[in-house]
Homo-oligomer: A and B are copies of this chain.
């Protein structure tokens, strides 16, 4: 087996007789430089252009294996026309798989196809002898059980019956199928480079995240919350139907240059500091902030979360406060100014004196890389498998590719969320090099045009092979103007959009469900009295909380597999620029969810949706039921055009399940 490498020059001394061409193998990312991504239980559909010179028949196989195994598994590829072939393989285990396309000129198949077209007895007789040789060669490669049968078949072809009679014998399907199991692969080629797929855990494909600040969980206002205080909050998040609770950094907070409330430079004596100013005399990235509790408290927190079927995501921010132990122990990991002081973060004229970035151009970069990877390893050993990585785009791409590669190699169940809100190519690079999930521009895509363009790009563009969107309507850093001014309808609409457009979504709470909407100052997207800089006390039992709505929405997500993946997203026309309509379908189309959202938080809007019924697998001639899952109401629709009205003073969205009419044997109709 040669690979389909460059055949100029070298080929003369290698194997010039291999006549097959394999090109255009998909899916691939940057020519195989990066892996594609899948979730356990999915499959990879591979296509390739395969052809040879002249008229000979060819065969193509999809080959795949676990990257830890040597033996390839193979499946025949089917021709799609225009020299394109396709096959799929399942990915049932976490980790990496490798795939390629193998193909060869198949003389036995060529012979068979030509024999069927031969007319003159003399030609047939000659071809029968050629075929006998090919079949005997197959017999020599065959398992003993088949070899004898094949030899007997060849003998018949060489026999004394009239050529046309032997032609019929030679064209026997069953005998051919046996011979075809032992093809002559001596001149087969395999596509190069081998392509890779990273197979992630189910939560990578479908998840609802709830981020909250443990230090604000004290039942007593003004008191620093502890991890033990969070038990109620865990139960609360689980009741809302979330899968993952995500915590800001839980490490000791620097005391030098500590920031005060609203990111001021005057902390005052009681300032709690920012959890992202990591490290003090009490420890660094592998320590627990004493005001939150002990490592044992953290273990208990994780255990409790598990009892609620919640996974815990930690925030990993690779930067140090001035009093982080690293600063003393490893001055070589930081950049120094001419006066010998450590260089703090800055973007002139802005200065962040409470943050020391690592110097990844340090001569001691190898030790730094290892130390940072070991931070992950520490928490992995504590049972954490999900990490929200803070500002990964301010650390080298090569570091992340190495670190995630190493860690996922050790623990393929890991999930890394890239907290990068930056330029498109930078975000894509982080996704390519290994981040499991990526934050998106969703928070700033508010109009129908913006949402349609952006989600079409996310779900149908080439990037979907590696960029898995995780959509958040708010984060501790992001309170959009739409939420600042849109009131309750805005919070409801953005929640429905996030939860139904994207299989992976999250909110920062209780700010979200309590509709916190005051910015630090006009024009700012920062929260006033942000939890990043001070303790907050949240009354999660408030009557106007969105908690029940969120619970309902998460239950709908969980119950409907249509919402468990992204690629089936399809937008449908609705004749109102303030309304958006889209569907998602399960594989096979048994579950179809249709969502309609009024994007105008101030006025009732209505319009006629125009569904692509054929794409949805709905019979345009028969009525069908739309079951509104938020309210439980059911409507009978007919045909593509149907009327929808949404009043933001009630709920600005419909989430419909399409139910097709089923007629039973006893002539009893119901909707499935």
Contacts and interface: CB of A to CB of B under 8 A. Distances in A.
Interface of A: 6-9, 11-12, 16-19, 21, 23-24, 30-31, 33, 49, 51-55, 82-83, 105, 114-115, 117-120, 123, 126, 129-130, 133, 187, 337-339, 346-349, 351, 357, 360-362, 365-366, 369, 393-399, 401-402, 405, 423-426, 429, 433
A331 B108 CA distance: 23
A133 B338 contact: yes
Contacts of A51: 423, 425-426, 429
A17 B365 contact: yes
A53 B17 contact: no
Given A393-B53, A425-B82, A6 B21 contact: no
Q: How many identical subunits does the complex contain?
A: 2
Contacts of A357: 54
B12 A349 contact: no
A393 to B, nearest CB: 6
A609 B346 CA distance: 59
A54 B347 CA distance: 10
Contact of A402 (B7, B17, B19, B120): B7
A401 B338 contact: no
Contact of A53 (B12, B53, B394): B394
B126 A337 contact: yes
A118 B349 contact: yes
A442 to B, nearest CB: 20
Contacts of A83: 423, 425-426
A19 B398 contact: yes
What 3 A-B pairs are tightest by C-beta distance, nearest first?
A: A31-B31, A129-B338, A7-B398
16 contacts: A8-B401, A9-B402, A9-B405, A16-B365, A16-B366, A16-B396, A19-B360, A19-B398, A21-B397, A51-B429, A53-B394, A53-B397, A53-B426, A114-B348, A119-B348, A133-B338
B348 A118 contact: yes
A129 B337 CA distance: 9
A54 B394 contact: yes
B369 A402 contact: no
A369 B8 CA distance: 12
Contacts of A362: 17
Nearest to A117: B348
Contacts of A23: 30, 425, 429
A256 B453 CA distance: 67
